[in-house]
Amino acid sequence: MSDAHVTIVDRLPPGEGTSHGNAGVLAACSVAPVTAPGLVKKAPHMVMNPDFPLFVRWGYVPKLLPWLRKYLSHANDVDTRRIAASLTDIIGDAVHQHQALVAGTGLEKWVQLSDYSFAYTDRAAFERDAYTWDVRAANGFVPTLIEGPDLRAREPNLSPEIGLLATLSDHGYVRDPGGYVKALAKAFTDAGGHILQAEIKDFEITAEHVTAVLTDTGRLPCDSAVLATGVWSKPLMAKLGLTIPLETERGYHIIFENAENGPSHPIMVSTGKFVATPMAAGVRCAGILEFGGLKAGPNRKAFDLLRRQTKAAFPAMTWGQEIEWQGHRPAPSDSLPLIGEIRTSGIYTAFGHHHIGLTGGPKTGRMVAALLADKPPNIDLARFSPMRFA
């Protein structure tokens, strides 16, 4: 395997798409799925509340319903805890995984160690999230609670309306996710790898094993292939005979360029369900969950809400220009990524990470590399198998 010749095929240049647009947090604690108990009862209020960061394109609902039924079927305690334990195996040591990825490459500067905080109006609001924090605690993530003068000393730019920080140590963030991925791509090509900008159309299968990837620029022979194309993996999986219950969670961010009086470290603002991260270009505020498919354009109401929530959380923050972005998160109906081989085809999957693609990228890559080398990792991969939907 050490002599393998590797080509990355991507329809966009490195560091574009969701790789560019995420919140940048190495969120090791993000193991509790959205489908917590009680979600079914809460969902109608969430959708109808103009100040809640959930949007639905109503014309898309008929296409969404089959996936949504499966998704909501996991909104129970047993599934929530099972999913969280599985996700911990992927991202629980995320900071270490990223540090190991860049060690000795000269790219260490991209990975910034930090705390990760969740901001609440008061202790009562924090306690309303007790179930989620219990799930996190069961997987090793117990916060330190910061209130009063200690909170103001730690984050003086937060709104006076925010009275409690639940802070987790041993986290980190990337100050420029797109730049980080571009730098990793350069390290890859410097080491002898190849990058081809093309769109994958199909696979050539001979005697039930992949022999080539078919792209819009031609045929690319191969002995094995890894499908890691996010939400765009669904139609390619269909060509391989698998119907995957995968939807796009449309995400939004705004970069407030050259921002001052913002957060000193990544903060999840619970009232707006968005993350504010200090980055090289300014403060990036990322969040919003929207269902509306791949084809619809950005929703202005989503940007407006994100902007309002940011101003409410950081009332003294000033900035220059704003840069808006909207992209797509791949959401399997059971909230677990697809990692493993499709039958014995030599085609492996590495997609479906919901909100934790950047966080779980290095660990997932190592797991797939081990499979390609016929050295299965010491982890139960059946939970993540792409064949679980067969």
**For the domain that residue 323 is a member of, what is the CATH number?**
3.30.9.10
183 domain residue, yes or no: no
Instruction: Count CA atoms closer than 13 A to 322's CA, side-chain side.
Output: 14
Full 3-state SS string of 17-66: CHHHHCCCEECCCCCCCCCCCCHHHHHHHHHHCCCCCEEECHHHHHHHHH
3-state secondary structure of 10: strand
**357 in a domain, yes or no?**
no
Per-residue pLDDT at 330: 96
Q: Give, as one character, the DSSP assignment of residue 191.
A: T
User: Would residue 386 be called left, alpha or beta, if left means φ above 0 and alpha means ψ between -120 and 50 degrees?
Assistant: alpha
Q: What's the rounded mean pLDDT across residues 357-373? A: 96
pLDDT in tens, 143-186: 999 999 999 999 999 999 999 999 999 999 999 999 999 999 99
Could you tell me if residue 143 is inside a domain?
A: yes
In a domain, 242, yes or no: no
Asked whether residue 320 is domain-assigned, the answer is: yes
| Domain count for the chain | 1
Q: How many CA atoms lie within 13 A of 132 on its CB side?
A: 20
pLDDT (average), residues 58-63: 95
The per-residue pLDDT for range 21-58, each reduced to its tens digit, is 899 999 999 999 999 999 988 888 888 888 889 999 99
Q: Are strands 274-279 and 267-269 parallel, antiparallel or unpaired?
A: antiparallel
| Residue 58 covered by a domain | yes
Please tell me the predicted confidence (pLDDT) of residue 317: 98
Beta-bridge partners for 286: 253, 275
User: Per-residue pLDDT averaged across 316-344, rounded?
Assistant: 97
- Residue 50: inside a domain, yes or no? yes
Q: Is residue 301 part of a domain?
A: yes
Q: How far is 310 from 256, CA to CA, in rounded Å? A: 10
Cα–Cα dist 141/137, whole Å = 5
Q: What is the residue range of 315's domain? A: 40-70+99-168+247-330
